[in-house]
Amino acid sequence: MKFVHIFVHNKIQIMLITSVSDFRKDIKSYLDRVAKNFETLIINRGKDSGIVVMSLEEYNSLMATNHELSSRTNEIRLDAAIEKLRSGQSFEKNRIEE
């Protein structure tokens, strides 16, 4: 098993890399690490071929982000909201409870 550290949005993301044969030998351990530690596993299948394994929670988050960025309008709104938070221009609203 190899570890690769990549930077995503200024955070270190750890990815595990293994071969198909090593994955078969210890499938439970690999899947437990992916599920418990939100790690991404790449199973190398040869030259330029592989499989990515991630937790369901991580996958759902990725799909939600993809949806939010699916239109230019949404992307502009999100960028503006992030900039407001960074510059301290955010505010809180109390919800009206029924």
Collect all residues with Cβ–Cβ distance below 8 Å to 39 and sequence separation of at least 6: 14, 15, 16, 33
Residue with tokens 């996958």, as numbered in its chain: 59
Query: Considering the entire predicted model, what is its pTM?
Result: 0.61
pLDDT of residue 8: 54
Please provide the average confidence, as pLDDT, over all residues in the chain.
Answer: 83
Checking if the pLDDT of 45 tops 80, the result is yes
At residue 60, the pLDDT reads 92
Q: Which CATH number fits domain 2-54: 2.60.40.10, 3.40.50.300, 3.40.50.1000, 3.40.1620.10?
A: 3.40.1620.10
Q: What is the pLDDT of residue 94?
A: 75
Q: Domain residues of the chain, as ranges?
A: 2-54, 55-90
For the stretch 72-91, pLDDT in tens is 888 888 888 888 888 888 76
For residue 32, the model assigns a pLDDT of: 93
